[in-house]
Structure 1
Amino acid sequence: MIHFQGWVYRAHNPYWSFDPLSGDGAKRHGGRFNPKGVQALYTSLTEIAALAEYHQGFPHRPQPTTLCTYEVDCSDITDLTNPKERGKLGIDLDHLSSPWEMLAGVGRIPPSWALSQRIIEDGVAGIIVPSFAKNAPENGKNLVFWVWGSVVPHKVVVIDDFHRLPKNEDSWRK
C-alpha cells in the first residue's frame, strides 16, 4: 500500500454539485469497483480523465459539468496500475476492465466487485486504476475511495476556497 498526497478531480452533474463528497450515487447504482450498497467516491488523477469518465456515455455530445478538485492526504491506497502490485495480489487487467454492468445485469458478480470486496476487507481505503472510459487519455488513471473523510489518514476534501458550490439542492428548485 502507498500513501497518496496530491490533487484529484471529479466531474459532476451540476445538479449534484451541492454534495461533492458524496458516494451515495455509487452506493445506490453500483459502479465498476463497488456493488450496490457499497459507498464509493470515484475521482481521477487529471482533469481530462475526470471529464472522460463523466462523459463516457456521450463523448461526442458533452453535457453541462461541474468539475471539482480535491485535496487528498490518504494512506492505505493500492496502486493497481503497477503490474508488480497486481501480480502480488493475483489481479490482471481483465479483472479490472470486465464488463461489470453487463455481468451484474444478468445476475453475475463482476470480477472487479469480487476484487474490491477482497481488498476492502484487507483494509484498503482506495485504489488507483486505469481509466476504462472509451474517450479517456492513454494514461488516464482514477483513484476510487471506499474510505474517506475530512482528516488524515483518509483525508479527501473538496477545494472551494471561494464558496462557489451550492450548499444544498434548493439552489436547483424552480
Structure 2
Amino acid sequence: MSLLELGFRYRGIVYRGHNPRWQHAPESGEGTARHGGRWNPVGVPALYTSERFETAWLEAQQGFPFKTQPLTLCAYEVDCGPLLDLCDPAVQARVHPAPESWMHEAWLDRKLRKAPVVAWEIATQLKAEGFTGIRVPSQAKGATPRDINIVFWKWTPQVPTRVCVIDDEKRLPNKPE
C-alpha cells in the first residue's frame, strides 16, 4: 500500500490564531513562507491550523502562555485532501524511520545552525506524493494529546482543496491597516 492510499479528506472546522498584522490576509500563508515553520521551509507557504481553538491559542503564543500577545483568532471551513495523519504511530513509522527523533525535532535550532530539518524533508516528500497537508500533534508548550494541528501546503477556496476563513459578517479588513 502506498502512502497516498492512507490519505484522507478532512471536512470540518479548524482554527488559527495569528498576528493581527495579517488579519487582512488570514488565508495567505505568506508569513510562514517568509520565515519557515516546523513543516515548511523558507519560501514554501503553509497554513497552520488547529482542530481546537484552545490549541490555536497555544500555538499563537509561541510558548509564552502567561504573557499573552494580541492575536486574531479565525475559524476556517475545510473540505480538503488528501491529508496524512501523522498522529498515528504506524503512519509515522512508514513515513520516516525513528519517528521519536523527528516528531519532536528542534527544527528552529537546526534551521538557525543551517543543519538539515527532517520535518522539511518529510514535507517535501509528502507534497511530491500528492498530499495537500498533514495532521500532527501540537508541539506547543503546554500541549496535551488533545492538541492536534492540521498543516496545509495546498489550499484554495474550492473543493477538493477548500480551506476558507469564516467571515460572514465581513469583520476582517481586506487590506493592511
Please give the range of the TM-score, normalised by the shorter of the 2 chains: over 0.9
Task: From 150, 156, 171, give the equivalent of 1:149.
Answer: 156
Task: From 50, 68, 74, give the equivalent of 1:68.
Answer: 74
How many residue pairs match? The answer is 170
Distance 1:88 1:143 in 2: 19
| Deviation by residue 1:96-137 (Cα, 9 ceiling, x = unmatched) | 220001011111111111111111111110000000001224
Q: Which residue of 2 aligns with 1:120?
A: 127
Aligned: 1:56 with 2:62: yes
Q: After TM superposition, give the deviation of residue 21 of structure 1 in Å.
A: 0.1
CA contact (8 A) 1:27 1:39 kept: yes
Q: Which residue of 2 aligns with 1:166?
A: 173
Task: From 82, 89, 96, give the equivalent of 2:88.
Answer: 82
Matched residue of 1:28: which SS?
A: helix
| Residues 58 and 15 of structure 1: CA distance in aligned 2, closer, same or farther (over 3 Å) | same
Distance 1:127 1:88 in 2: 14
Matched residue of 2:92: which SS?
A: helix
Gapped regions of structure 1 (runs ≥ 5): none
Q: After TM superposition, give the deviation of residue 27 of structure 1 in Å.
A: 0.5
Normalising by structure 1, report the TM-score.
Answer: 0.94
Distance 1:66 1:144 in 2: 18
Q: Percent identity?
A: 42
Matched residue of 1:59: which SS?
A: coil
Q: Which residue of 2 aligns with 1:97?
A: 104
Distance 1:69 1:102 in 2: 30
Distance 2:48 2:119 in 1: 14
Task: From 8, 12, 24, give the equivalent of 1:2.
Answer: 8
Matched residue of 2:24: which SS?
A: coil
Q: CA RMSD in A?
A: 1.1
Gapped regions of structure 2 (runs ≥ 5): 1-6
Q: Which residue of 2 aligns with 1:32?
A: 38
Q: Which residue of 1 aligns with 2:3?
A: none
Q: After TM superposition, give the deviation of residue 57 of structure 1 in Å.
A: 3.4
Matched residue of 2:115: which SS?
A: coil
Amino acid at match of 2:111: A
Aligned: 1:22 with 2:55: no
CA contact (8 A) 1:48 1:137 kept: no
CA contact (8 A) 1:48 1:136 kept: no
Distance 1:138 1:125 in 2: 23
Distance 1:121 1:42 in 2: 19
| Deviation by residue 1:49-105 (Cα, 9 ceiling, x = unmatched) | 000000023211001111000000012100000122222323514212200010111
Amino acid at match of 1:132: Q
Aligned: 1:41 with 2:47: yes
